[in-house]
Chain A
Amino acid sequence: MSKTILTIDDSASIRQMVSLTLTGAGYTVIEAVDGADGLAKATSNPINAVLTDLNMPVKNGLDFIREFRAHPASTGVPIVFLSTESDDAMKAEARAAGATGWIVKPFKPDQLLAVVKKVAGA
Chain B
Amino acid sequence: MSKAADPTDTFRQEARELLEQLEQALLDLEQNPHDSDLVGSAFRALHTIKGSGAMFGFDEVAEFVHDFETAFDQVRKGKAEISPGLVTIALAAKDHIAQLIAEPGRHAAAGAPILEALRKILTASDTSMGEVAAGSVSDAGSSARTTWNIAFRLPEDALVLGTNPLLLLEELCALGTATVTARADRLPPIETMDPEASYLGWEVVLETDQGREAIEDVFIFLKDGMELTIAPVDVEESARAGPGPASSNGTPAAGRPARSAGSATPSGAKGNSSLRVPAERLDELMDRVGELVIAQARLSQIAAASDDASLKTVAEEIERLASGLRDTTMGIRMVPIGTLFGRFRRLVHDLSGELGKQVEFVTSGEETELDKTVIERLADPLVHIIRNSVDHGLENAQARATAGKATKGTVRLAAVHTGAEVAISISDDGAGLDAARIRQKAEEAGLIAPEARIADEDLYQLIFHPGFSTAREITSVSGRGVGMDVVKRTIESLRGAIDVASKPGEGTTVTLRLPLTLAIIEGMLVRVGKGRYSIPLSAVEECVELSASEADAAKGRNFLNIRGNLVPFLRLRELFRTQAPAELHQKVVIVSAGEQQVGLVVDQILGNSQTVIKSLSKLHADVETFSGATILGDGTVALILDVGHLVRFGQTFEERIRNSQIGRVA
Contacts and interface: CB of A to CB of B under 8 A. Distances in A.
B576 interface: no
A14 B257 contact: yes
Contact of B51 (A16, A92, A99, A106): A106
Nearest to B265: A31
A36 B268 CA distance: 10
Contacts of B253: 85, 105-106
A85 B48 CA distance: 12
Nearest to A115: B249
A119 B164 contact: yes
Interface in B1-29: 5, 7, 10-11, 13-14
Given A77-B162, A107-B249, A121-B167, A11 B7 contact: no
A49 B162 CA distance: 8
B161 A100 contact: yes
B249 A114 contact: yes
Interface in A69-85: 69, 74-79, 82-85
B162 A104 contact: no
A31 B10 CA distance: 15
Contacts of B269: 10, 33, 57
Most buried by A among B161, B220, B261, B265: B161
Given A11-B260, A105-B255, A106-B54, A119 B162 contact: yes
A17 B50 CA distance: 15
Contacts of A83: 254
A89 to B, nearest CB: 13
Given A10-B259, A49-B162, A76-B160, A37 B268 contact: yes
Interface in B164-210: 164, 166-167, 170-171, 196
Contact of A106 (B14, B159, B251): B251
A95 B221 CA distance: 9
A102 B220 CA distance: 9
A16 B7 contact: yes
Tier of interface size on chain B = 35 or more
Given A78-B164, A106-B62, A118-B167, A12 B10 contact: yes
Contact of A104 (B166, B252, B256, B271): B252
A33 B262 contact: yes
Interface in B213-230: 218, 220-221, 224
A106 B249 contact: no
Nearest to B52: A13
A111 B135 contact: yes
A10 B159 CA distance: 28
B257 A78 contact: no
Interface in A23-60: 31, 33-34, 36-37, 49, 53-58
A29 B131 CA distance: 32
Contacts of B260: 10-13
Given A17-B7, A55-B44, A57-B259, A104 B163 contact: no
Contacts of B14: 11-13
A33 B252 CA distance: 24
A86 B246 CA distance: 12
Interface in B68-88: none
B223 to A, nearest CB: 10
Contact of B162 (A9, A76, A82): A76
Interface string A88-122: 00001001001111111111100100100011110
B202 to A, nearest CB: 17
Secondary structure type dominating chain B contacts: loop
Tier of interface size on chain A = 35 or more
B198 to A, nearest CB: 11
B297 to A, nearest CB: 42
B578 interface: no
Contacts of B7: 13, 16-17, 20
Contacts of B248: 86, 102, 104
B271 A58 contact: yes
A85 B52 contact: no
B10 A33 contact: no
Interface string B426-458: 000000000000000000000000000000000
B373 interface: no
Given A10-B259, A12-B260, A58-B271, A104 B251 contact: yes
B267 interface: yes
A28 B599 CA distance: 67
Nearest to B158: A100
B167 A10 contact: no
A102 B160 CA distance: 17
B327 to A, nearest CB: 29
A86 B252 contact: yes
B370 to A, nearest CB: 27
Given A16-B7, A84-B254, A108-B55, A120 B167 contact: yes
B167 A102 contact: no
A75 B164 CA distance: 11
A13 B53 CA distance: 10
Most buried by A among B55, B171, B265: B55
Given A85-B254, A107-B55, A107-B250, A13 B162 contact: no
Contacts of A14: 51-52, 55, 257
B249 A78 contact: no
Nearest to A65: B161
A95 B162 CA distance: 11
25 contacts: A10-B258, A11-B258, A11-B260, A12-B14, A12-B263, A13-B11, A13-B52, A13-B260, A16-B5, A20-B7, A31-B265, A37-B267, A69-B161, A77-B162, A79-B161, A84-B47, A95-B224, A99-B161, A102-B221, A105-B253, A106-B254, A111-B250, A118-B218, A119-B162, A121-B166
Interface of A: 9-14, 16-17, 20, 31, 33-34, 36-37, 49, 53-58, 69, 74-79, 82-86, 92, 95, 98-108, 111, 114, 118-121
Of all A-B residue pairs in the complex, the 5 with the closest CB atoms, nearest first, are: A78-B162, A101-B221, A105-B254, A11-B257, A104-B250
Given A12-B267, A14-B55, 13 more contacts: A10-B259, A13-B260, A14-B257, A36-B268, A54-B256, A55-B256, A84-B254, A85-B252, A86-B131, A98-B161, A101-B220, A104-B251, A118-B221
